Amino acid sequence: MNKFRTHTCAEIGEKDIDKNGVITDVVKANQSILVQIVKEPISTKGPRISSELSIAGRYLVMVPFSDRVSVSQKIASNEEKDRLKRLVKSIKPKGFGVIIRTVAEGKKVAELDKDLENLLAKWSTMCKKLYKAPTPSKVLVELNRASSILRDIFNDTFTGIHV
């Protein structure tokens, strides 16, 4: 049923890492690794980074190298949680986890599918950049704060923004 080819950077040949090992068994000096900045630097503290990547969309957050589907706890109805989980499991490609955001409540599969396609396109573009990228470099840039607010709050019922 899955219409997507598995678009993972695992095509690069990376295997899963044992998370209980010693860091020097996995990462060597001058080795390039893909990380995500999860918190910007403040004052004298540097940025917080993670190797567990996620890409946020309007209704979904895509988590590469996972197969888990989870639903926002803010969705109260168990029936709705189950419906959304079933829908997402039917459209998500292998090798990707998905977090279903609160705003997905009541949405149809076509809307969720479109959001997932956009996220997969971002992932695919990033993976292509990764091959040629010098280190260090940005291979994917998330939306700025204003754009992410627009993505998360506004929908088709809005006709304009007045400043």
Q: How many CA atoms lie within 13 A of 67 on its CB side?
A: 4
What pLDDT band is residue 43 in, cutting at 50, 70 and 90?
A: very high
| DSSP-derived 3-state class of residue 69 | strand
| Residue with tokens 């690794």, as numbered in its chain | 33
Tokens found for residue 54: 């996620």
pLDDT at residue 29 tops 70: yes
Dump pLDDT digits (tens) for 96-153.
999 999 999 999 999 999 999 999 999 999 988 888 888 888 888 877 777 777 777 7
What are the helix (H) ranges across 12-161? 23-26, 78-91, 109-132, 145-153
d(CA 131, CA 11): 11
CB 100 within 8 A of CB 77: no
Give burial (CB, 10 Å; 0-12/13-18/19+) of 115: buried
- Over residues 18-42, the mean pLDDT reads 84
Dump pLDDT digits (tens) for 69-86.
999 999 999 999 999 999
Q: What's the confidence (pLDDT) of residue 78?
A: 96
* β-pair type (69-71, 96-100): parallel
| Residue with tokens 């000096």, as numbered in its chain | 29
d(CA 81, CA 86): 9
Q: What's the confidence (pLDDT) of residue 116?
A: 96
pLDDT at residue 53 tops 80: yes
pLDDT at residue 55 tops 80: yes
Work out the percent of the chain whose per-residue pLDDT is above 70. 87
pTM of model > 0.85: no
Give the mean pLDDT of the chain.
85
Tokens found for residue 28: 């060597």
The enclosing H or E element of 94 equals none
Query: 20-24, 55-59, 110-114, 123-127: lowest mean pLDDT where?
Result: 20-24
Which residues on adjacent β-strands are paired with residue 69? 98
